[in-house]
């Protein structure tokens, strides 16, 4: 699959079949995830692959607890129809969390820093790898999404997964074969959110209308 196609069609897939995903496929996703850059090339990630039903149940319980609060207190999105569809998908995932064949928990060695610069470096060492994992799953025909609902209590997640205090869980990625068919993602035009030199200076909006886009070199990459 060309890289641009994988990026354009990689979406949050929460409805997954219960069919098994073999270890080789999961390991391949993680191998590709680990090609991502990390701060200082420390490669300080750890990956927990969850298959045990009891561990899944504990993560599912944490997920549902957080979701029950979020759906009551979360703000309304500007596009109600889209938001309703998203809430339905999140609810479906919460109701069927234990049925997910594989749950990957992306972790990082160390504690989450409080200082802004160190905190940014911390996230930059794990989330590029998580995005790589999502793209790898897409390329292999799997569905996946990043969720943090189960992480509302780092202590409980550490206890559930047997993580030492010096390992921090950063993202939960349910992984499986998609239930149904999914089209490409839809996003706002880039020109609406790109600023030149200073915030508010958006010259690309003037050039976006009616102009033919430049050829995307990634679209033909194999």
CA angle 199, 204, 209 (to 5 degrees): 140
Pairing of strands 102-109, 143-144: unpaired
Q: Could you tell me the pLDDT band of residue 110, with boundaries at 50, 70 and 90?
A: confident
Q: List, for residues 141-197, the tens digit of each pLDDT value.
A: 999 999 999 999 999 999 999 999 999 999 999 999 999 877 788 888 999 999 999
Cα 64 off chain centre by:
18
The edge-to-edge listing of strands for the beta sheet with 167-176 is 45-50, 102-109, 167-176, 143-144
Domain ranges of the chain: 3-182, 188-222
pLDDT (0 to 100) of residue 158: 96
- Please write the tens of the pLDDT for every residue from 84-101: 888 899 999 999 999 999
Integer Cα distance of 88 and 77 in angstroms: 14
Q: Which residues of 130-153 are buried (b: 16+ CB within 10 A; e: fewer)?
A: bebbbbbbbbbebbbbbbebbbee
Question: What is the Cα–Cα distance from 222 to 207, expressed in whole angstroms?
Answer: 30
pLDDT of residue 75: 56
Any idea which of 68-82, 86-100, 118-132 has the lowest mean pLDDT?
Answer: 68-82
Q: 18-65: per-residue pLDDT in tens? A: 999 999 999 999 999 999 999 888 899 999 999 999 999 999 999 999
Indicate the SS3 state at residue 13.
coil
Distances (CA, A) of 202 to 164, 210, 216: 47, 16, 22
Tell me, which fold does domain 3-182 have in CATH? Answer: NADH Oxidase (3.40.109)
- Residue 6 phi, psi dihedral angles, 5° rounding: -60, -40
């Amino acid at each position: 699959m060309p890289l641009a196609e994988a990026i354009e069609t990689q979406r949050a897939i929460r409805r997954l079949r219960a069919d098994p995903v073999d270890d080789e496929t999961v390991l391949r996703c993680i191998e590709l995830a680990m090609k991502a850059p990390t701060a200082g090339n420390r490669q300080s990630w750890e990956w927990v692959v969850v298959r045990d039903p009891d561990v899944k149940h504990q993560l599912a319980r944490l997920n549902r607890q957080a979701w029950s609060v979020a759906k009551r207190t979360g703000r309304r999105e500007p596009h109600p129809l889209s938001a309703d569809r998203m809430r339905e998908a999140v609810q479906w995932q919460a109701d069927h969390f234990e049925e997910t064949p594989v749950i990957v928990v992306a972790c990082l060695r160390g504690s989450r820093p409080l200082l802004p610069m160190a905190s940014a470096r911390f996230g930059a060492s794990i989330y590029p790898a998580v995005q790589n994992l999502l793209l790898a799953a897409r390329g292999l025909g799997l569905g996946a999404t990043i969720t943090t609902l189960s992480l509302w209590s780092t202590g409980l997640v550490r206890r559930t997964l047997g993580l030492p205090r010096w390992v921090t869980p950063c993202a939960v990625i349910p992984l499986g074969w998609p239930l149904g068919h999914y089209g490409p993602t839809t996003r706002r035009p880039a020109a609406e959110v790109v600023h030149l030199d200073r915030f508010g200076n958006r010259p690309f909006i003037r050039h976006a209308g009616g102009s033919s886009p430049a050829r995307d070199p990634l679209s033909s990459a194999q």
